[in-house]
Amino acid sequence: MTDLKRFDGHGVLVTGAARGIGAAVARRLAEEGGRVLVTDRDLLQAERTAAALREQRLAATAFACDVADRGSVEAAVARALALFGSLDVLVNCAAHCTPDVPLFEESSDDAWERDLDVTLTGAYRCCRAALPHLSASGRGAVVLIGSVNGLQDYGNHGYSAAKAGLGSLTRTLAGHAGPRGVRVNLVAPGTVRTSAWEGRDADLDAVRPLYPLGRVGEPEDIAAAVAFLASRDAAWITGTVLPVDGGITAVNRAFRTALRGGAGSA
């Protein structure tokens, strides 16, 4: 638990917050004094997550929100305003990732459109609904959750295109919203141990050696970076993409290992 209290009295809306990175972000911002609307399309799990925070005397309320539905997003923003009186921070975590099929030419329009609709357009819907209120707050901040998939090839073409698109949205929205007093940044996580990797311990073990820092990420690693970018500590930072990835996009471990005849570079 951090001693920082950078969000005292702030109204915070987190999407995809029932579990994983979104839940860790909700916890971190609540620990720092934020009043958090824990939104997710899975209301039951969102309620469990919010209840666990309230048990620790943190301010959290669950609300059903499917980012694929404009009305649902607008209802969540309205709920945050009604509860908190202002909306100061938006964190967009909800995403959809269709696993690759063996042959690219057999991939479907439906899968591509779903990945784009939830991951990219969902974030756009949230930003559009929240922006006037973030601007009115005078200290508004948006943090989008991208992925290293938006920066390099890690497979999952629809999801990766959507994550790359979020980088562009970050920059154009930063340009538009900066003069209105709102900062917009993106955190691009590497592999993070969440329910998205449930039952795939062998895969997590397999990718671990590719990480210069010797481990995959935990949701709290991402939440700490989100809290920084959403806080006044980042008052002069907007339009940036921050990889929080144990160094995997900066360092080519496979290349180093190949040069050393497979002996490893540790």
Ligand X SMILES: NC(=O)c1ccc[n+]([C@@H]2O[C@H](COP(=O)([O-])OP(=O)(O)OC[C@H]3O[C@@H](n4cnc5c(N)ncnc54)[C@H](O)[C@@H]3O)[C@@H](O)[C@H]2O)c1
Closest CA to 189 of 148, 230, 133, 225: 148
Does residue 158 touch ligand X according to CB under 6 A? no
User: At CA 193, angle to CA 192 and CA 199, rounded to 5?
Assistant: 135
Does residue 42 touch ligand X according to CB under 6 A? yes
Which residue number, 136 or 204, has a Cβ lying nearer to ligand X? 204
Does residue 13 touch ligand X according to CB under 6 A? no
Which residue number, 87 or 216, has a Cβ lying nearer to ligand X? 216
Among 15, 170, 185, 238, the residue binding ligand X under the rule CB under 6 A is: 15
The reply to whether 159 belongs to the active site is yes
Does residue 50 touch ligand X according to CB under 6 A? no
The pair phi, psi for residue 145, each rounded to 5°, is -100, 110
Does residue 88 touch ligand X according to CB under 6 A? no
| Strand extents, DSSP E, 51-181 | 60-64, 89-92, 141-145
Which residue number, 196 or 259, has a Cβ lying nearer to ligand X? 196
Does residue 95 touch ligand X according to CB under 6 A? yes
Residue 54, both tokens: 């309230």
Select the span of 64-72, 131-139, 202-210, 223-231 touching ligand X (CB under 6 A). Answer: 64-72
Does residue 133 touch ligand X according to CB under 6 A? no
Other residues' Cβ atoms within 10 Å of the Cβ of residue 29: 30
Element (H, E) at 244: strand 241-244
Q: Output the DSSP codes for 95-124.
A: ---PPPPSSGGG--HHHHHHHHIIIIIHHH
Q: Which residues bind ligand X (CB under 6 A)?
A: 15-16, 18-22, 40-42, 65-68, 93-96, 118, 122, 145, 147, 189, 191-192, 194-196
Could you give the residue numbers annotated as active site?
159
